[in-house]
Amino acid sequence: MLEKERHPVTRFFGGLWKGLDEARRIFVNLLFLALIIGAIWFLFQDDGPGIADTTALVVAPKGRLVEQETGQSLERMINEARGAVPSEVLLKDVIDAIEAGKDDDRVQALVLNLNSFGGGWPTKLQDVAKAVVEFKASGKKVIAVSDHYEQDAYYIAAFADEVLMNPDGLVILEGYGRYKTYMRDGLDRLGIDVNVFRVGEYKSYVEPYLRDDMSPEAKEANLAWLGDLWDNWLEEVADARGLTVEQLEGFATNFPSIVREADGDVAAAALETGLIDATATRDEMRARLIELVGEDEDSHTYNHVTYTDYLEDLDEDRFGRKAKGDKVAVIVARGTIEDGSRPPGTIGGDSTSALIRKARNDEDVKAIVLRVDSGGGSAFASEVIRRELEVAREEEKIVVVSMGSVAASGGYWISMASDEVWAYPSTITGSIGILGMFPTYQRPLAKYLGMRVDGIGTAPLAGAMRPDREMAPELGATIQVIIDQGYEEFITLVADSRDMTWDEVDKIARGRVWSGEDAYEIGLVDSMGDLEDAIASAAKLAELGDDYAVTYIEKDLKFKDKVARMLLSQALEIVGPEALAVGENPATELLRQAESELRKLTELNDPNHAYALSMIEVD
């Protein structure tokens, strides 16, 4: 039976009512969601850390110092809490807290608790040490405490007024070394062919896939920059502790005999050498700090505030997101350079270029400082970023590059479109070269699984780039021509940007890595200095005077990531990270390292399979 057609007026009011009903349900759902979020926000609010009138600022970094945190998705945070990925400590957070505490009358002392410190590259340690020295200049005490000191932790501790260590602890000075896992024999056993194309005898990134040991050229280059880093470390620590370089080097070189002479009491040996000021148990350390800043009657420990709570209490616009007027924009480029859009902690050709465009299109931004901390990656993505900076300069924006720990290969490529390049003496840079890699696994398919690939195509390249087929010799020869051309382009860009001839650049290129001080001597960088120096220089070049703001241009976290981060952070404060911790053993760690090395082959995504990569990885 056919349904009787409704009157137009009835249809209109019926549709209107249905629409209103749908709008009501949407409104109620949104209101309900807002109430839930509000309740969560309310539950996790507190009244702040409650800073005493005389207190100690405690800097207890748990993890490795980084220029930029890796994209903090829920999965990343859970894995970090479980110990499945390294914990990260934002360098800017540590420095900002120390600098603010210097001028805060409530903060009477700085405590460097280095028990859980995961270390960092020399440039990052130097930035923290600089902040510590400036804090001391205010007349306030700096106390370093730890059960033991590894080399990176001891570097920071050396700048304190007092270095305290547990009587059962030890100081370990390893020097600097460079060791990689070489896989040629293993890959041969598996039947995996890694087709490699490169220019430059020092381009050692591919060596783990081609050799079972480090090449003489790589040893020569590595020993040169490692020696520079070690010399700087010894000189700076010796100066901070009032020791001689010979005393420090002797402790590191003769450690086994020193331990034997001390009957195994390493703490006593460190005390006698002058590396520490006193041995103290934890209760004795606590008593020393109570004497310095007073006692908290509730917790019966010394008055203190952690640097993370202190930063929240400051409630300042530390990243300059609300800044007005003339600005210097800082863009952090940290990690491997990859094609496309990438999360923080990795450099994306598209995503990093978008940040540069954002700064370029902001009329208040008069200068851009690119903070580079990268060992390179995709040559194509590197050129996309370099060109974006070049456009910014064409539009009369000042561009200054501040090299962090590493600015090598692709990291150097993206540094070339700039008015100035700044580096630390211990920056790792250069590695001007290019390579290509394409692994194939047709042999293990045939040997172990009895599987073979065959077919037909209408042109020579049909199916030629399949990883389950052997690479045709003519294709390999073609790729090598492309790599050669990429090297020519790289050298030409460097020559143009550094006002050098092609031959002059080629002599210091060929994939060789240099320390910052050597790079300065051979003309690859303009000045020695840190990020603060680079920002000041950018402002001077832009003729901004002293009246300007510094703003960090960053990719915003998605709302869901912000909520997940807040909830997990609060949950971990309640149950502790131990609730998520997983056991580890040497076998699984070894397999993880091998898996990490092999995974790099699949993560590289240059459309031309051409890479400006160094063997130096960023923290």
> pLDDT, tens digit, for every residue of 191-207?
999 998 888 788 888 89
Average pLDDT score over residue span 334-343: 93
Residue 576 confidence class, pLDDT cut points 50, 70, 90: low
CA distance 421 to 190: 45
Q: Of the candidates 84, 90, 81, which has an alpha carbon nearest to the alpha carbon of residue 120?
A: 90
Average pLDDT score over residue span 170-177: 95
> pLDDT at position 70, please?
86
> pLDDT at position 561, please?
57
Q: Which residue has the higher pLDDT, 375 or 1?
A: 375
The yes-or-no verdict on residue 591 having pLDDT over 90 is: no
329 burial class (0-12, 13-18, 19+ CB within 10 angstroms)?
A: buried
Please tell me which residue in 203, 327, 366, 397 is annotated as part of the active site: 203
> pLDDT at position 349, please?
95
Q: Give the tens place of pLDDT for each residue, 81-118.
A: 555 556 899 999 999 999 999 999 999 999 999 999 99
Average pLDDT score over residue span 264-292: 96
> pLDDT at position 238, please?
98
* DSSP string over 134-156: HHHHTT-EEEEEES-B-HHHHHH
The yes-or-no verdict on residue 57 having pLDDT over 60 is: yes
Average pLDDT score over residue span 387-395: 97
Neighbouring CB atoms inside 10 A of 218's CB total: 23
* Cβ proximity of 615 and 409 under 8 Å: no
* 180 catalytic residue (yes or no): no
> pLDDT at position 619, please?
60
Residue 577 confidence class, pLDDT cut points 50, 70, 90: low
Please tell me which residue in 374, 378, 409, 415 is annotated as part of the active site: 409
Report the chain's mean pLDDT, rounded to a whole number. Answer: 87
> pLDDT at position 31, please?
58
Q: Which residue has the higher pLDDT, 331 or 8?
A: 331
Q: Which residue has the higher pLDDT, 371 or 36?
A: 371
Q: Of the candidates 196, 198, 199, 197, which has an alpha carbon nearest to the alpha carbon of residue 506?
A: 199
Average pLDDT score over residue span 267-286: 96
* DSSP string over 506-518: HHH-TT-EEEHHH
Cα 223 from chain centre: 23
The yes-or-no verdict on residue 571 having pLDDT over 60 is: no
Helix axes 216-241, 245-253, angle to 10 degrees: 120
* Cβ proximity of 448 and 412 under 8 Å: no
Write the CA distances from 546 to 244, 363, 396, 531, 539, integer angstroms: 40, 18, 20, 17, 8
> pLDDT at position 614, please?
65
The yes-or-no verdict on residue 49 having pLDDT over 90 is: no
**CATH for the stretch 327-560+599-613:** 3.90.226.10
Average pLDDT score over residue span 527-539: 98
Q: Give the tens place of pLDDT for each residue, 231-248.
A: 999 999 999 999 999 999
7-16, 318-327, 413-422, 451-460: lowest mean pLDDT where?
7-16
The yes-or-no verdict on residue 278 having pLDDT over 90 is: yes
> pLDDT at position 205, please?
83
> pLDDT at position 3, please?
47
> pLDDT at position 87, please?
86
Residue 605 confidence class, pLDDT cut points 50, 70, 90: low
Average pLDDT score over residue span 583-604: 54
The yes-or-no verdict on residue 1 having pLDDT over 50 is: no
CA distance 100 to 102: 5
Task: Give CA angle at 68 (583, 401), nearest 5°.
Answer: 145
Average pLDDT score over residue span 472-493: 92
Q: Give the tens place of pLDDT for each residue, 245-274.
A: 999 999 999 999 999 999 999 999 999 999
* Cβ proximity of 530 and 330 under 8 Å: no
* 515 catalytic residue (yes or no): no
Average pLDDT score over residue span 35-48: 52
> pLDDT at position 297, please?
86
32-41, 345-354, 469-478: lowest mean pLDDT where?
32-41
> pLDDT at position 78, please?
61
> pLDDT at position 602, please?
54
Q: What is 55-177+229-314's CATH topology?
A: 2-enoyl-CoA Hydratase; Chain A, domain 1 (3.90.226)
Query: Where in the sequence of the chain do the CATH 3.90.226.10 domains occur?
Result: 55-177+229-314, 327-560+599-613
